Structure 1
Amino acid sequence: MTLFEIIILALIQGITEFLPISSSGHLLLPAELFGWDSQGLAFDVAVHVGSLLAVMLYFRHEITQMTIAWVTRGFTKNQNTDSKLAWYVILATIPAVIVGLLLDDWIEMNARTALVIAATTIIFGLALWYADAKAQHTMELENITMKQAIIIGLAQVMALIPGTSRSGITMTAGLMLGLNRESCARFSFLLSIPVILGAGTLKTFDLVQATTPVDWSALLYGAAFSFISAYLCIFLFLSWISRIGMLPFVIYRMVLGAVLLWFVFG
């Protein structure tokens, strides 16, 4: 890849990993528009590392507090808000891990098509609009229950279908359960940490077994630009989401879905 391609693909990964707009759809566009080749496994690992470092840096204080509370209180009857939240993140991650391990190969071979991504981009975009329009937006993250966390975790399973958007579907579920927009986003971002870590680990194992030569400078640039764009995305999204709502992202998804359908049927 050229440096320009590296920067564009890394920025796309970093931004779409956390916005509710589907990374799968965006990663199809460079290939469809410009005929770019797939970025390859090593580059995929690098940009995921960049995204992971960004979300962990942004939530470093929460992660530290949750980890300490989980270790010291998580296995006792004297739970606090941080230890409970740590458990909720763990429990909400389990469904996606189980289904992902069972169906990942099947989904990769059968569902990663432009038509599927276009359809899910539109359908789950409308679901996000409905949830945002009808939700009460009253509950803070500190008041989330185990049942609500598990429901959000079950919704996250749908993100295994390309085009759904992991952040989009978890925020949709959170809104329907009464969480306010910022709390939905924060819980979604916290949930992304074990998901990205797990996916990156599996891809790393595949990379170790591969014999393809590695362009280390491309990986470094990819990780760096993914990190920068992901961190700015998280910061700006959490700063603005309570004011702007989900409608701009819903409209964007409709346009993206239409463009992808044009590629399919045009």
Structure 2
Amino acid sequence: MLEALILGFVQGLTEFLPISSSAHLRILGEFLPGAQDPGAAFTAITQLGTETAVVVFFWRDIVRIVSHWFKALFGRIPRNDPDARMGWLIIVGSIPIVVLGILFQDEIETTFRSLWIVATMLVVFGIILGLADWAGAKNRTLDHLTIPHGIAFGFAQALALIPGVSRSGGTISAGLFLGYERAAAARYAFLLAIPAVFGSGFFQLAKSLGEPAVYGPIETAAATLVAFVVAILVIAFFMNYISRHSFLPFVIYRILLGGTIFALLATGVIDA
């Protein structure tokens, strides 16, 4: 239970920071007494807690987007209504991760969880985030979001199927390269994650029923609750932070963490 609570805390702490929560859970598992990977299912299920925090934090936005989308669908309001349009953009942006998640399901649960891959993704996408933050024009708001841009965000989000990329880091990097403001890119990234994370989480939850797992249902539920509480605080901090500061501290952290994992793997301290 203590291990599960620690992992839940780390999940909530890292899910919305551009440092990859799945990478941290994968790495942390090596240093817990059992020294084992918590598993893709545990990661996906605890993400239900962090994504519920997004729903709570952006509740008014979500209700407005959903209601306007349905009203526009049935002709009660103009189809070009900004909130109705955002609903379509979230749907379109969610398609890549659904398709790629199904196609590469086995690799996601096995090959992609190698710590060599995790460390590589931490460093590579840390550098990409730094370049995006440095080169991005940061003059576009979500009013400028188009279908092609939504698809680009969607493919960037899909890369987070590989631990170490970071769902928020990948999508925010794409947004920055496309010229969006930091806060706008992060807001769309958080909203875009809702269908994908809930879909993945409930799929893994149903799949895990009756199957052997590192942590039982009670431990997993406790970890998910802890992740939810911590994530609420992290979202509030992160949205306030990025409106005034760059992503440089996260870039440095990712490179240092990835380099440390490379060193530990090369010296045999941990196993890939």
1:48-87: CA deviation from partner (whole Å, max 9, x where unpaired): 2211211110111011000001000146553211001110
Q: 1:120 to 1:220 in 2, by over 3 A?
A: closer
Q: 1:248 to 1:152 in 2, by over 3 A?
A: same
1:124: Cα distance to partner?
0.7
Q: 1:253 to 1:264 in 2, by over 3 A?
A: same
Matches within 5 A, 1:1-266: 2-3=1-2, 5-36=3-34, 37-39=36-38, 43-44=42-43, 46-74=45-73, 76=75, 78-210=79-211, 215-266=216-267
Q: 1:71 to 1:141 in 2, by over 3 A?
A: same
Distance (Å, rounded) in 2 between the aligned partners of 1:170 and 1:214: 30
Distance (Å, rounded) in 2 between the aligned partners of 1:108 and 1:215: 18
TM-score, normalised by the number of residues in structure 1: 0.92
The answer on whether the counterparts of 1:22 and 1:164 sit within 8 Å (CA) in structure 2 is yes
1:17-62: CA deviation from partner (whole Å, max 9, x where unpaired): 2111012321133233334344467754652221121111011101
Q: 1:165 to 1:131 in 2, by over 3 A?
A: same
The amino acid that maps onto 1:26 is: H
Distance (Å, rounded) in 2 between the aligned partners of 1:81 and 1:17: 28
Distance (Å, rounded) in 1 between the aligned partners of 2:201 and 2:256: 30
Greater helix proportion: 1
Distance (Å, rounded) in 1 between the aligned partners of 2:15 and 2:50: 7
Question: Which ranges of structure 2 fall in alignment gaps of 5 or more residues?
Answer: 268-272
**Percent identical across equivalent pairs?**
36
Q: 1:158 to 1:38 in 2, by over 3 A?
A: closer
The amino acid that maps onto 1:12 is: V
Distance (Å, rounded) in 2 between the aligned partners of 1:57 and 1:12: 20
Aligned alpha-carbon RMSD (Å): 2.1
For this pair of structures, how many residues does the alignment match? 264
Distance (Å, rounded) in 1 between the aligned partners of 2:59 and 2:11: 21
Distance (Å, rounded) in 1 between the aligned partners of 2:29 and 2:217: 22
Q: 1:50 to 1:107 in 2, by over 3 A?
A: closer
1:99: Cα distance to partner?
1.0
Distance (Å, rounded) in 2 between the aligned partners of 1:132 and 1:7: 34
